[in-house]
Amino acid sequence: MVLSQFRFVEVGRVAYISYGPDAGKLAVIVDVIDQNRALVDGPCSGVSRKQMNFKALELTSIVMKIPRGLRPGNLRKAWEKQEVQKKWDSTTWAQKIANKKKRAQLTDFDRFKLMKAKQARNRLINVEFGKLRKTVKRPAPRLRKKKSVKK
Amino acid sequence: RVPALYQMKIFAPDKCTAKSRFWYFVSQLKKMKKTQGEILQCKEMYEKHPLVIKNVGIWLRYVSRSGIHNMYREYRDLTSAGAVTQCYRDMGARHRARASTIQIIRVEEVAASKTRRPNIKQFHNSKIRFPLTHRLNRKLHKPRFTTSRPHLTF
């Protein structure tokens, strides 16, 4: 994998916190402490400014344009101005998380509705598939040439 | 006659250990024992700016298997207490020095230009930027068995 394909830890990189008390929240890397830790802040997502190990951070594709060590008040302004929440919500990652959450909160009736919806969709797909299958010309069965044993 | 008053900055996990270490150091430095003196105050000193990253220089003295040595080490941390904790862990890892054999002489915040260690200086870059390569999969048991190889490059 080429270096340019990685997401970089840099000032302004928005990260998703994967575990710990703030799991599931977004935060910005405000400064890098050392090889393992960053100073992280998420004023609009309820993460107070703190140090976090990179192991708990999953880097997103969003990078904010902020100076190093930006104060929380100004960081909040920059977050809202650069529409970080909107950018995050439009990513597939965020949508997958939202879907998972929705699925976990389904009631039995919702699951029934889901089952019926899936059934209806699959029926439509199968009907089309059947039509396609009929139109394909069946190739003539190939005669197998038996290898003659040379005496 | 006013008795002498001494103040020390002790790095310890709790008040009890702090008082004990106070007497340990004071006896070494002055002719005073726990029975001859009295601790007037033992209070926790909090970091003035716990959200500002500092380069902390630590001067210490430790006993190795073959002698006593002085050291100067640098750490990057938000608090001096955090840096001292890092120091103890680091000394244990690199020199197998146990906490009882380490004496912290001096802890000081060092300006970035005055730091001496290259592994600290490498973080003095306003446009610091690095990837997290080869992210290990620590969830070995979730799932324990799987048919797909773990995804390590993000």
A88 confidence band (pLDDT: 50, 70, 90): very high
Q: What is the mean pLDDT of residues B105-118?
A: 97
The amino acid present at A59, given as its one-letter code, is L
Residue B39 in this model has a pLDDT that exceeds 70: yes
**B34 within 8 A of B23, measured Cβ to Cβ:** yes
CB–CB of A33 and B127 under 8 A? no
Q: How confident is the model at residue A1 (pLDDT cuts 50, 70, 90)?
A: confident
pLDDT for position B35 = 97
Beta strand spans in B7-113 (E): 54-64, 67-77, 102-110
What is the token pair recorded at B25? Answer: 């150091």
Estimate to the nearest angstrom the gap between the alpha carbon of A103 and the chain centroid.
16
Q: Is A24 on the interface with B (CB under 8 A)?
A: no
Tens digits of residue pLDDT in B57-72: 999 999 999 999 999 9
For chain A, give the DSSP string. --GGGSPEEETTEEEEE-SSTTTT-EEEEEEE-SSSEEEEEETTTTEEEEEEEGGGEEEEEEE----TT--HHHHHHHHHHTTHHHHHHTSHHHHHHHHHHHHHT--HHHHHHHHHHHHHHHHHHHHHHHHHHHHSPPPPPPPPPPPPPP-
Q: How confident is the model at residue B52 (pLDDT cuts 50, 70, 90)?
A: very high
- Nearest-angstrom CA–CA distance, A129 and A21: 49
CA angle A68, A69, A75 (to 5 degrees): 100
Query: Which of B120, B127, B128, B134 is the best residue to mutate to test the A interface, defined by the most A CB atoms within 10 Å of its own CB?
Result: B128
What pLDDT is attached to residue A7?
95
Mean pLDDT confidence for A76-103: 97
The mean of the pLDDT values for chain B is 96
> What DSSP state is assigned to residue B138?
-
Chain centroid, CA B37 distance in Å: 29
Half-sphere exposure of A31 (CA within 13 A, CB side): 22
Q: Tell me if chain A has a CB within 8 Å of the CB of B65.
A: no
ipTM score assigned to the predicted complex? 0.89
* Whole-number pLDDT of residue B82: 97
Residue-wise pLDDT tens digits, B116-143: 999 999 999 999 999 999 999 999 999 9
Among the partner residues B51, B127, B131, nearest to A7 by beta-carbon distance = B131
Q: Is the dihedral of CA B17, B22, B27, B31 positive or negative?
A: negative
So what's the pLDDT on residue A151?
67
pLDDT at B80 over 70: yes
Show Cβ contacts of residue A65 under 8 Å, excluding neighbours closer than 6 positions. Answer: A12, A78, A82
Answer yes or no: is pLDDT of B19 > 90: yes
φ/ψ of residue B47, rounded to 5: -70, 135
- For residue B131, give the H/E element and its range: strand B129-131
The answer for A83, left when phi > 0, alpha when psi is -120 to 50, beta otherwise, is left
Which residues does chain B have within 8 Å of residue A39's beta carbon, measured at their own beta carbons? 51, 53, 78
Instruction: Answer yes or no: is pLDDT of A149 > 90.
Output: no
Q: Report, as an integer, the average pLDDT of B80-97.
A: 98
Residue A142: its pLDDT value, please?
77
pTM score, whole prediction:
0.86
How many interface pairs between A and B have CB atoms less than 8 angstroms apart? 50
Residue A92 pLDDT level (bands cut at 50, 70, 90) = very high
Cα separation, B17 vs B88, whole angstroms: 15
CB contact under 8 A, B154 and A7: yes
Q: How far is A138 from chain B (nearest CA, A)?
A: 36
Q: B25 with B7: CB under 8 angstroms?
A: no
Whether omega before A141 lies within 30 degrees of 0, making that bond cis, reads no
Q: At A150, which amino acid appears?
A: K
**Is B5's pLDDT higher than 80?**
yes
For the cut 90, the answer to whether the pLDDT of residue A143 exceeds it is: no
Largest CA distance in chain B: 81
How confident is the model over A46-78, as pLDDT tens digits?
A: 999 999 999 999 999 999 999 999 999 999 999
